[in-house]
Structure 1
Amino acid sequence: MAANTATMGNLPSGIGICTTIPDILYLPELVFGGLVWILVAATLVVPHNPQAWVMFVSIFCFTVTLIWLVVFAFGVHHNKRRWATADFAYHGIAAFLYLSAAVSLAKVTMDKDDGSNSLNYKLDIAAVVFSYMATLLYFVHTILSAIRWKSF
């Protein structure tokens, strides 16, 4: 096996994060999370609208995932078992947060449909789709991280 790749029982460092499962999911998580952040920020916010929760979740998960990616890329993780546990816990929490944000955003978007097919409505629909995609990515990452955690 090459020096920069890892099996499910190891935590990668350096370029190995781009070649191992579940760590290859960091980049799509950042992309979809960033898209949710951008799309929700671009829409009209009604005062009783829960989009503030969606913004918090997308910014929080984007920031922590980016930090997590940097930690793994620079090989700061020394106690492999603890980092594997923290990776599993973080992605489980992120999946739950994104699911709650996606459901609330979908509810608001459905309630906002007035048949006009406006740009804000289309942006909200795109944000809902991308938030569910981010939820799916974080959920899959949680499952794969749990498998890796159990292999230690």
Structure 2
Amino acid sequence: TEECRSRGIPFAADFSQQIARMGGDEIRILLDGATYLFSNEYEKGLIESKTGWTDAEILARVGHRVTTLGAQGVRIERVGEEPIEVGCPEENVKADPTGVGDAFRAGFLSGLAWGVGLERAAQVGCMLATLVIETVGTQEYTLHRNHFMDRFTKAYGHEAAAEVRTHLA
């Protein structure tokens, strides 16, 4: 992250399971200046307690604070902006939570790479996370464009689906 900061390269900070072993200084160094800080609610609390920084202080140090909320979806916060909250599509089954956070980030970052807005990127992330939680195993899921788009349309509507579909052709 230091090299990214010194070269002006945007970066994302994501501690995941490593946060349990990290100290406050390490966490502060990794997140300071991140364009995106990813965490779930539990990790969010650890980040705040280990750094000694408040939620507002952390938000002032990153561009976007992206907090996954389990079955409730995700919240994206930016200084001076209203939070963006996106819910998860309805699950058919909750088979295995392993890899769900990775799937969310992959979908979210794919959306950003396509140039869609934060809300739409979060919807792509939440849809992918839902498909992954319905599969046992970390990478055993398969993505089928039509199935993804049918579920996405049901969850987020035709306008959202039309925007995403152009990137999946």
Same fold per superposition (TM over 0.5): no
Q: Which has the larger radius of gyration?
A: 1
TM-score normalized by structure 2? 0.24
TM-score normalized by structure 1? 0.25
Indicate the structure whose relative CO is greater, using CA pairs within 8 Å and at least 6 residues apart: 1
> Structure 1 or 2: larger helix share?
1
